[in-house]
Structure 1
Amino acid sequence: MKEYKRPVDVVVISDVHLGTYGCHAEDLLRYLKTIRPKKIILNGDIIDIWQFSKRYWPNAHMQIIKYITSMLSKGTEVVYITGNHDEMLRKFVGFKLGGFSIENKIVLELDGKKAWIFHGDVFDVTMQYSKWLARLGAIGYDTLILVNTFANFILKTLGRGKISLSKRIKDSVKSAVKFINDFETTAADIAISNGYDYVLCGHIHHPDIRTIRTEKGEVVYLNSGDWVENLTALEYSNKEWNIYNFSTDMVAKTVKLSKRGKASLNNEDIFKDMINEFLMVK
């Protein structure tokens, strides 16, 4: 019996950070297996090239790339928008093969409205002037995620709920809150000036949908969040945007990832299989 997959017009995913300890690759794979999108936009920091190491590249992380490639072969259009952690891919901007393309930003026409989509690191001052500081912060963030994982293991053992240390820090530190507000306001101002109806970003790991109004007009600001802390994405169907949240998706949570066949292959075998499927894309 063929499994039912929920149809979605557009899915926007960002900040997966494949190659880091904090990435929830298996949960993302469960989500992807429940949907049938016409277009999937990978809005930056999908692969964390900053912290990439051959010593840590789990099978589940390779399976994400493999599964997205298989979606291509089944007719889903895939747009990879570069971010700061995968900025090395910017040298390939403009590359297209079948339904796959690499871009810095895109504008989508959705039911008569324009959606401006980009990662958002262009607004980050530390990225523009102190990349070494931003990289140092990324390492510290990954370490905090490791500590958080251990803390949640202890809490689970004691029968208590999970916590997010990084989220608590961001929510309590005034400078972090101000940065998020400034980021959202800047994105909205530029979008309004250019006549866009929607502006979609990632980068700050803060999922949101809200209308921002200024003296010049208004725009719907959206952020897809991440797959490290929030496990969220943006979905567009029936002429409206919604935030997808894995924590409330009882269907995706029950998806069992096979431990047999292709799922048990090593990364090299998965890579070869992925390339074969990619070459079949028309």
Structure 2
Amino acid sequence: MPKREIDILVISDIHLGTYGCHAKELLKYLKSVNPKILILNGDIIDIWQFSKSYFPEAHTKVIRKILKFVTDGTPVYYLTGNHDEMLRKFTDFNMGGLQLLNKLVLDVDGAKVWFFHGDIFDVTMQHSKWLAKLGAVGYDTLILINSFVNWCLVKMGRKKYSFSQKIKASVKEAVKFINQFEETAADLAIEKNYQYVICGHIHHAEMRNIQNEKGQVTYLNSGDWVESLTSLEYHHGNWSIYKYDGAAYTEKEEDEFEDTQSKMDIKELFKKFTQSVA
């Protein structure tokens, strides 16, 4: 099956190292595309909860696949988020085709596109980080319970159900927060004369034009790979939201990672990284 060509691929909020991460699905998707540029827009590795030593092989394979893009010559930009904020002290690290940054501005077919994770807009992150981390643990627990419930629903021939997405859609304050987040990002982008602003963080894939008294901008969000399983794709001059569909991946694909460097385990990877930036 030929790989789909994409000019720019944006993925965020994978949360490798948590029970909610859909690493197997993400790996299938990454194997099916051939991006010219890959942008990882924060919360790729969930360092907040990494201490619980949960890191299955599928999670490691996602990292190997990202490294495979690098070794194949694809520019990869890793933009830090709040769950992998430990990496922010290594900002501007460059290892071949892999660059570690806090934000990124690209000229895409004559338009200025501003990429950043978006946690700077989160008041909880700014003033009560301990509360945000507690919330992250609670969210991961909710996802774990939700996974069990969905397993039971599938066995009974019923559709899967998302607890947190239902909460986001029904709780007034959650809807209000999402709207404020999007409008704040748009206001800043308009002030900086950018035509597009692309974020992650809120696990809500979106693409819409936002206007204020100073101008307008196209706001995009890549969603996440915990619940919505979405990404942003740019090809032939157009942005679109990709939504994972398991039915599109019927054939079992062979593992393509043969080189020794790709086979390093996760601890060795972190050791190599810290030695490189020391």
Instruction: State TM-score, norm by structure 1.
Output: 0.90
Q: Secondary structure at the match of 1:39?
A: strand
- Note if contact 2:230-2:243 (Cα within 8 Å) is conserved in structure 1: yes
1:196 partner amino acid: Y
- Partners of 2:227 and 2:141 lie apart in 1 by 13
| CA apart distance, 1:55 | 2.9
- Note if contact 1:66-1:270 (Cα within 8 Å) is conserved in structure 2: no
Q: Residue in 2 aligned with 1:121?
A: 119
Q: Secondary structure at the match of 1:50?
A: helix
Q: Residue in 2 aligned with 1:256?
A: 252
Which deviates more, 82-91 or 48-57?
48-57
Q: Secondary structure at the match of 2:252?
A: coil
| CA apart distance, 1:233 | 0.3
What is the RMSD of the two structures over their aligned residues, measured on CA atoms? Answer: 2.2
- Note if contact 2:64-2:263 (Cα within 8 Å) is conserved in structure 1: no
**Following superposition of structure 1 onto structure 2, how do residues 97-246 of structure 1 map, counting pairs within 5 Å?**
97-246=95-244
Describe the shift of the 1:261–1:177 C-alpha distance in structure 2 as closer, same or farther (beyond 3 A).
closer
| CA apart distance, 1:272 | 9.2
How many residues align structurally? 269
Mark the runs of 5 or more structure 2 residues left unpaired by the alignment: 274-278
- Partners of 1:91 and 1:234 lie apart in 2 by 27
* 1:82 counterpart (80, 83, 95): 80
Mark the runs of 5 or more structure 1 residues left unpaired by the alignment: none
Deviation beyond 3 Å, 4+ runs, structure 1: 260-263, 267-275
| CA apart distance, 1:4 | 1.1
Describe the shift of the 1:269–1:78 C-alpha distance in structure 2 as closer, same or farther (beyond 3 A).
closer
State percent identity of aligned pairs. Answer: 59
Q: Residue in 2 aligned with 1:32?
A: 30
- Note if contact 2:196-2:219 (Cα within 8 Å) is conserved in structure 1: yes
- Partners of 1:216 and 1:204 lie apart in 2 by 25
Q: Secondary structure at the match of 1:235?
A: strand
2:30 partner amino acid: L
| CA apart distance, 1:257 | 4.4
| CA apart distance, 1:117 | 0.3
- Note if contact 2:105-2:112 (Cα within 8 Å) is conserved in structure 1: yes
